[in-house]
Structure 1
């Protein structure tokens, strides 16, 4: 059984509706009505990319947009993100087979843990590596390398699961095979070992004898 190195936002948790809504609300507070169809492809790269591109397009200061987004997100703080379909099933299967569920995320540690607890996934997480630990953001492989080092894992025994190109690039830079969860707006301009229509498809991957 492979150890899974999970991305959080958009992979384990369905956080994108809140992210997109907060950014749309932030833009509205600055006097710009922008449709979700324009926002979604940008946030699927990164939130920072979306803010940079929209700020330039609308002649808004990036710092002002970040601040407005933070305020909009705070207003939504009581809205918990649900787990993605089949996330709990796959994580339980990994745990039952004696492998590890490791979360590798850009989100700060406190925010990541609180969201996983709200979605009732935290008991299935064996460890969490985040930018709060001082590691560079993906596509830098530092967080993946740290996770493997912490648990004495070899790349051949791991599979990274994410929904964005930067997840795949970071995994490959660490020597890890990857699975891409294809969600609306996902970028497929990257070679990846497995493409997943949903997380249930991971069960088939985990039951396959993969070459080292």
Structure 2
């Protein structure tokens, strides 16, 4: 596949100080565990699915992947989720490393006097143990999750709440995520947004900046 983008800036995006990070697929490389657990779940339920199919669907959202695969397989979403959680409980413990350059990028934010904030669909407990396992927890200044009572992205509520909690000017905040829903949520909150590329995934995005790697934020 080839990546397709619209509206992104070329060169270095300047003027930002703080970062609102996404977690899965951005700070942490959780996709291998997610893909593996979902494929294993379908296989265990008697439905084989190709790795490419799983990869394409989960890059939109896990909910979308389960919903689509349930419709295609004749299985219920509930039984797929149940089987998925069983497999992920094993794979997720060992296959959620920090993305290359994540720690350096977060330290660079601190060096410029900024905050590292996190807006994630994960529950708080799940987000924290993954951050600790990846040795990133010490760099996080604050996080909000959907389990705190906020709607899921692309709704901007997580972003707006973080901006209000820390009295931040949205013009000084850069949001970094790997899916277009991160970009939409950030823009709705008045922040600029950078999209981290996922290899092999085609996206049309209105991101202000496209990152091939997180290390670009350290420059």
| TM-score, L = length of structure 1 | 0.93
**Equivalent in the alignment of 1:114:** 129
**Equivalent in the alignment of 2:186:** 171
The 10-residue stretch of structure 1 (7-16 or 90-99) with the greater mean CA deviation from structure 2: 90-99
Matched residue count = 204
Assess, with a 3 A threshold, how the Cα gap between structure 1 residues 178 and 20 changes in structure 2: closer, same or farther: same
**Equivalent in the alignment of 1:96:** 111
Any runs of at least 4 consecutive aligned residues in structure 1 with deviations exceeding 3 A, and if so which? none
Q: CA RMSD in A?
A: 1.1
Q: Which has the higher contact order (CA 8 A, sep 6+)?
A: 2
CA–CA separation in structure 1 for the residues paired with 2:94 and 2:215: 25
CA–CA separation in structure 2 for the residues paired with 1:68 and 1:74: 10
Q: CA-to-partner distance for each residue in 1:123-151, whole Å, 9 max, x for gaps?
A: 00000110111000000000000000000
**Equivalent in the alignment of 1:188:** 203
Structure 2: segments with no counterpart, 5+ residues? 1-15
Pairing 1:1-212 to 2, within 5 Å after superposition: 2-204=17-219
Contact 2:108/2:217 (8 A) holds in 1: no
Q: CA-to-partner distance for each residue in 1:12-66, whole Å, 9 max, x for gaps?
A: 0000000000000100110011111110011011000000011111111111111
| TM-score, L = length of structure 2 | 0.90
Q: CA-to-partner distance for each residue in 1:145-194, whole Å, 9 max, x for gaps?
A: 00000000011010000000110111111111000001124442221100
Contact 1:138/1:167 (8 A) holds in 2: yes
Assess, with a 3 A threshold, how the Cα gap between structure 1 residues 185 and 133 changes in structure 2: closer, same or farther: farther
